[in-house]
Amino acid sequence: MTTQRISKLRQYLADGGIDALYCRSTTDIAWLTGVSGVFDTEQAHMALISPQDALVHTDSRYSHALRCALESEVGIWQVDDSRVSHARCALERVALLGKGQNCEAGSWECAPIMGIDLGLTLGEYRQLEKESAGQVQFLETSNVVLNLRSVKDEAEIAAMERAQHITDAAFAHMAQWMRPGMTERQVARELDRTMMEFGAQGLAFDTIVATGPNAANPHHVSDDTRLEPGHLVVMDFGARLAGYCSDMTRCVSVGEPDEYTQNVYEAVRFANETVEARLSVGMRGIDAHTLAEECLASRGFAGRMGHGLGHGVGLDIHEEPCLNLRNQSPLVAGNVVTVEPGVYVPGRIGCRLEDFGVVTPGGFHVFTQTSHELVII
């Protein structure tokens, strides 16, 4: 697994004439190494990939665990916990890379080229510039590893399917447990507790529970608002397992929904199911989003979505590719994306229905197993 990922990255470097890539994203490093259970949320690591080396520079808090985790990758990865800055560690190694015998010693054109991602902080870039003292050329790159991560392998897909099994089971519990009068916070806490009890190693993101008018805010922060008859409750949540995320949104009606609520829900369901039936290799992100907008408009809810139709999922809850108006690239086999159309009417109602799955040559394989039927409590 690691060998294939490093090979893809090295091919990118070769195609771009880059001698080494300086990587500071912990998620990117976790993906490149294939390691789970070592890294946390602290951005305490640096990976340097060149044709000769695959190095992680870290500190003593992580180095032993990382070496143990990489035992099967001996000969591919090195772990360096020397007490120097990431910049100094990388520059010392990159400076050893030559540009060939025909280069004049000390000439700028012969200085090794180190790729740096646009996500690097300005402060760290300035440090690299200062410490390199003109001995290394820097080339800006954009989301190199993130783009490689957008195509999932079988192990990644299996991890996300297992995470989704937990998420589905948690919602089944909630559909039986929820009662009118409970607060959003109570529901969110129980949902989180249930996912952990069912085997999640963490939450994919902060759970969203939004009832009634609150649901018109897609990223509402759950509060003490109570679930009341006539409310539609939006629940957006996901489990994390082996480092990988699941993502799901379902709605619950408090009592029988009125005609308007039913129309909103059916419009969102129509958009979701239409897109999922057509999503396949070659469809562009913009096309999937536009199709959902057209479905909602046909049911009388034009301009009521506001956000993109979906996003990639993996080690991070938001990855590439996105299903939105800005993405004109075609989907490829192995892309894992959400499909989450919604309708939002400020002061009145919000509704979203989200599944996620993998794009295949034969269509869209949905991981989510929970029914699209509206649950009534």
- The closest of 139, 128, 140 to 93, measured between CA atoms, is 128
At residue 73, the pLDDT reads 74
CA distance 82 to 52: 20
| Pair of tokens at residue 121 | 């902080």
Residues of the chain with pLDDT under 70: 1, 74, 98-109
At residue 133, the pLDDT reads 87
**Vertex 363: Cα angle to 361 and 366 (nearest 5):** 125
Parallel, antiparallel or unpaired: strands 46-49 and 54-57: antiparallel
pTM, full prediction: 0.93
Backbone angles phi, psi at 330, to 5 degrees: -75, 145
At residue 217, the pLDDT reads 97
At residue 79, the pLDDT reads 96
At residue 101, the pLDDT reads 41
Please give the span between the terminal C-alpha atoms of the chain, in angstroms, as a whole number: 46
At residue 267, the pLDDT reads 98
DSSP assignment of 4-21 equals HHHHHHHHHHHHHT-SEE
Q: What is the DSSP letter of 135?
A: S
| Pair of tokens at residue 146 | 């993130």
Query: What burial class does residue 377 get, using C-beta atoms within 10 Å of its C-beta: 0-12 exposed, 13-18 middle, 19+ buried?
Result: middle
CA distance 9 to 146: 11
At residue 111, the pLDDT reads 86
| Pair of tokens at residue 120 | 């690097």
CA distance 82 to 57: 8
Q: Where are the alpha helices (DSSP H) in 17-74?
A: 26-33, 63-69
At residue 52, the pLDDT reads 87
At residue 104, the pLDDT reads 53
> Sign (positive/negative) of CA torsion 341, 346, 350, 355?
positive
At residue 100, the pLDDT reads 44
At residue 110, the pLDDT reads 72
